[in-house]
Amino acid sequence: MIAVIGLAIGVVLGLVLQPSVPPELQPYLPIAVVAALDALFGAVRARLEQKFDDRVFVTSFLFNVLVAAFIVFLGDQLGVGAQLSTAVVVVLGIRIFSNAASIRRHLLKA
């Protein structure tokens, strides 16, 4: 519950403050967001499976974000930034979909 509240507050803050992304962070933010979404979906699924753990969520969240950003950074350095970004998004998207499927099965029993 507190997570949902935090999410809502974050959205409101973003809407109210209307910050601009620093240029050096701009390539990483979208990937980081996708990675964090992946962690969030995993957490929701774990919660529904009743094996949620704060610590794992926090570490996986941060780690996911950092690894995703690092992969993009590496890709940029190697000259394949666009392709690696796509790869990361695809992989994370697949994970999000599978997690969403689990969540759906838990919620709808179908």
Partner 1 sequence: MSEQERAQPLSGPDETAPDGTRASEPPPSAADGPVAGTDGASGAEGATAASEPTGNRGRGWRSQLLVATLCLLLGFAIVVQVRQTQGDELAGLRQNDLVRLLDEITQRNEALAQEASELREDRAALLSGSDASRSAEDYLEVQRILAGTAPVEGPGVVVTVAGTASLTAQEMVHMLEELRNAGAEAIELSGVRVVTSSWFLEQDGALVVDGTTLPTTHEWRVIGDPGTLAGALDIPGGALAAFRSKGAEVEVTERELVQITAIREVTVPEYASPAPEDG
Tokens of 100: 């969403």
Cβ neighbours around 36 below 10 Å, total: 17
Answer for which of 66, 78, 82, 100 binds partner 1 (CB under 8 A) is: 82
Residue 36 binds partner 1 (CB under 8 A): yes
Of 45, 69, 71, 88, which one interacts with partner 1 (CB under 8 A)?
45
Q: For residue 69, state whether it binds partner 1 (rule: CB under 8 A).
A: no
4 touching partner 1, by CB under 8 A = yes
Residue selected from 55, 108, 109, 110 as contacting partner 1 according to rule CB under 8 A: 55
Tell me, by CB under 8 A, how many residues bind partner 1. Answer: 57
Element containing residue 73 per DSSP (H, E)? helix 54-78
Q: How far apart are CA 89 and CA 77, in angstroms?
A: 18
Please state, in angstroms and rounded to a whole number, the distance separating the CA atoms of residues 104 and 110.
7
User: What separation in angstroms does the CA of 84 have from each of 11, 18, 66, 69, 93?
Assistant: 28, 29, 15, 11, 14
Q: Which residues of this protein are in contact with partner 1, per CB under 8 A?
A: 1-11, 13-15, 18-21, 26-27, 29-30, 32-33, 36-43, 45-47, 49-58, 60-62, 64, 81-82, 85, 95, 98-99, 102, 105
